[in-house]
């Protein structure tokens, strides 16, 4: 009886964490919907392309600073958190590596900015952006994820982002305010780092600790790090190579599509992130049957919803871009349609790698799969971007996600994750997707206002999804 009550409490807390993290991610979706239309009307398409080009470059250095540590720390640290002494030692060692990788990252950035003439002319912007790297390391968000403190993370995020939006509207008023925009972009990172540092003392007082265990962590981190490099290559190389091969206009058009794509994808990734600490703990306790059962249920819950979201983005693509950025960005609609399909495979890849394979210590397989996807993406970018520009970039991203899905799913079958799932998933899709398509088509005819059309279509589709999901779940329970 006591064990049953403990399971119920764990399920309840997991649902609360899931709701909090989705709320946090949903709010993160709302802020760009408020700020990006403002930015696209302040800056030209070329300026927006320039901003996104700079941010894509800085993301590579942020990746070096992270060194795969957040993924590793949450996955491994979750199994150690019940032993305070053991976890504190682990956290100090990981934090030490994080500080070292951040120093290397910022040093490399300084060297490259000094060597490239077009970068050195904008050195103030690069100094500002490097501050975000330092404070992301200082904040050690992974510590809060290990202890599943999503309540603090959600409240902190909302308040800090509100402050950032207010500052944006006050100080960024015309096209000459690009440096101010980058400063305001970094301020939330600074506030997050400082607030995390003060709050995390209740869990662990992080300090530099150098010992022999550092070498053990490095061996485990390298596969994750190189896998992350390969991932960001095929995610960010599109924008970087568009800027080099096609010019800033193509970057500006594609960046709008990727903003909408990332908003949808990140909501589903937020759901995935909540499950990692709990499932990692099950693996370390060797409760593999419970692990498989929970992953199975999660896939059944999230996959039909992901496909429904992709259908919605395709159906409302022109409306979303018009509302998000304005009519001058409508050339990016085709690339958004292609990326909407990629969302489905991206979410499945997140499940395969983050929830299943990395906790099962299959980092090397994840690395190989991601490298294959990145190489495919780069090769196809060279061929397709000069001809198809932003549409070619979206298509190469889709193909890279499909390849990663094929490779990782084959390995997941070895752990009996996807067996007996196909029929159940197809039943859910048949019950949900056709009706959502009908809803969108009907509202396109009868509702002329784009904003109202998007909102009503979304709300009605969500209600329909919840109704069908409850019906299907009830039917499954009756059959069992």
HSE of 236, CA atoms in CB hemisphere, 13 A:
18
Average pLDDT over residues 170-193: 85
Q: Are 259 and 30 in contact (CB under 8 A)?
A: no
Max avg pLDDT among 9-18, 74-83, 122-131, 184-193:
184-193
Measured between alpha carbons, how far is 383 from 177 in angstroms, rounded to an integer? 36
Which contacts qualify for 25-30: CB closer than 8 Å, 24 or more apart? 25/266, 25/267, 25/269, 25/270, 26/267, 27/154, 27/157, 27/158, 27/161, 28/157, 28/161, 28/263, 28/266, 29/263, 29/266, 29/267
Write the pLDDT tens digit of every residue in 261-276.
877 777 777 777 767 7
Q: For residue 167, what are its two tokens?
A: 């500052």
DSSP notation for 197-251 = HHHGGGT-------STHHHHHHHHHHHHHHHHHHHHHHHHHHHHHHHHHT-HHHH
pLDDT of the residue at 100: 92
The beta-strand segments (E) located in 157-208 are: none
* Structure-block tokens of residue 370: 């991601």
At 122, list the tokens. Answer: 């904008």
Q: What is the mean pLDDT of residues 50-79?
A: 83
Range in 67-71, 159-163, 186-190, 288-292 with the lowest mean pLDDT: 288-292
- Summarised one tens digit per residue, pLDDT across range 117-159 is 767 667 788 888 889 999 988 888 888 888 888 888 888 888 8
Asked if 319 contacts 458 with a C-beta cutoff of 8 angstroms, the reply is no
- For residue 354, the SS3 value is helix
- Give the per-residue pLDDT at 422: 63
pLDDT at 11 (0 to 100)? 45
Instruction: Specify the pLDDT at position 62.
Output: 87
- Name the band, by pLDDT with cuts 50, 70 and 90, for residue 3: very low
- pLDDT of 4 > 50? The answer is no
Average pLDDT over residues 87-98: 88
Query: What is the pLDDT confidence band of residue 424, given thresholds at 50, 70 and 90?
Result: low
Q: What is the pLDDT of residues 366-391, one digit of tens each?
A: 888 888 888 888 888 888 888 888 88
**Taking the CB of residue 416, how many other CB atoms lie within 10 A of it?**
13
Please report the pLDDT score of residue 289 as a whole number.
Answer: 76
The residue ranking higher by pLDDT, 452 or 196, is 196
- 213, burial (CB in 10 Å: exposed 0-12, middle 13-18, buried 19+): middle
Residue 197: pLDDT band with limits 50, 70, 90: confident
Is the pLDDT assigned to residue 103 strictly greater than 90? yes
Mean of the per-residue pLDDT values for the chain?
78
Lowest mean pLDDT among 2-11, 351-360, 418-427: 2-11
Give pLDDT, residue 327.
73
Quote the longest CA-to-CA distance of the chain.
69
CB 338 within 8 A of CB 395: yes
CA 296 to chain centre: 22
Rounded Cα gap, residues 176 and 167, in angstroms? 16
> How far is Cα 67 from Cα 81, in angstroms, rounded to an integer?
22
Is the pLDDT score of 9 beyond 50?
no
CA distance 423 to 468: 16
pTM for the model stands at 0.68
Which is nearest to 391 in space by CA: 231, 266, 253? 253
How many Cβ atoms are within 10 Å of 300's Cβ, its own excluded?
A: 17
pLDDT-based confidence at residue 5 (cuts at 50, 70, 90) = very low
List for the chain the helix, strand, coil content (%; round to 5). Answer: 90, 0, 10
Q: How far apart are CA 254 and CA 260, in angstroms?
A: 10
Report d(CA 372, CA 134) in Å as an integer.
31
Distance (Å, whole) CA 145 – CA 276: 9
pLDDT at 102: 92
Nearest 10 degrees: Cα torsion 64, 68, 73, 75: 170
**Segment (H or E) for 448:** none
Quick: pLDDT tens for 278-313.
Answer: 777 777 777 777 777 777 777 777 777 788 778 777
């Amino acid at each position: 009886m006591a064990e049953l009550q403990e399971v119920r409490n764990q399920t309840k807390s997991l649902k609360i964490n899931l709701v909090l993290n989705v709320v946090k991610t949903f709010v993160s979706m709302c802020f760009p919907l408020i700020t990006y239309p403002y930015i696209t009307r302040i800056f030209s398409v070329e300026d927006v392309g320039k901003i996104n080009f700079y941010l894509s470059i800085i993301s590579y250095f942020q990746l070096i600073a992270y060194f795969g540590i957040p993924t590793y720390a949450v996955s491994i640290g979750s199994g150690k958190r019940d032993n305070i002494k053991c976890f504190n030692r682990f956290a100090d060692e990981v934090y030490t590596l994080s500080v070292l990788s951040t120093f290397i990252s910022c040093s490399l950035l300084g060297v490259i900015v000094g060597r490239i003439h077009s970068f050195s002319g904008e050195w103030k912007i690069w100094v500002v952006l490097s501050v975000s790297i330092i404070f992301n390391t200082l904040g050690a968000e992974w510590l809060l994820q290990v202890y599943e403190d999503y309540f603090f993370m959600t409240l902190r995020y909302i308040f800090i982002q509100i402050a950032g939006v207010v500052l944006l509207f006050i100080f960024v008023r015309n096209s000459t305010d690009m440096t101010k925009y980058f400063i305001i972009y970094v301020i939330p990172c600074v506030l997050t780092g400082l607030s995390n540092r003060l709050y995390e003392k209740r869990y662990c007082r992080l300090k530099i600790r150098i010992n022999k265990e550092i070498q053990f962590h490095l061996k485990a981190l390298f596969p994750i790090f190189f896998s992350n490099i390969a991932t960001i290559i095929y995610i960010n190389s599109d924008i970087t190579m568009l800027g080099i091969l096609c010019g800033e206009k193509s970057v500006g058009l594609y960046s709008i599509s990727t903003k909408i794509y990332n908003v949808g994808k990140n909501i589903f990734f937020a759901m995935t992130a909540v499950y990692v600490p709990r499932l990692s703990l099950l693996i370390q306790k060797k409760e593999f049957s419970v692990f498989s059962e929970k992953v199975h249920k999660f896939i059944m819950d999230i996959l039909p919803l992901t496909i429904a979201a992709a259908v919605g983005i395709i159906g409302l693509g022109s409306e979303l871009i018009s509302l998000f950025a304005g009519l001058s960005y409508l050339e990016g609609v085709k690339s958004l349609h292609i990326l909407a399909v990629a969302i489905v495979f991206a979410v499945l890849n997140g499940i395969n790698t983050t929830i299943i394979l990395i906790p099962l210590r299959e980092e090397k397989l994840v690395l190989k799969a991601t490298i294959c996807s990145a190489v495919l993406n780069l090769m196809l970018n060279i061929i397709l971007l000069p001809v198809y520009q932003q549409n070619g970039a979206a298509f190469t991203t889709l193909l890279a996600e499909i390849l990663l899905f094929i490779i990782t799913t084959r390995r997941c079958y070895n752990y009996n994750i996807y067996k007996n799932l196909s029929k159940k998933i197809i039943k859910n899709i048949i019950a949900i997707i056709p009706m959502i398509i009908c809803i969108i088509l009907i509202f396109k005819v009868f509702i002329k206002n784009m904003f109202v059309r998007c909102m009503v279509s979304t709300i009605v589709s969500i209600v329909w999804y919840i109704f069908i999901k409850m019906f299907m779940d009830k039917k499954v329970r009756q059959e069992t």
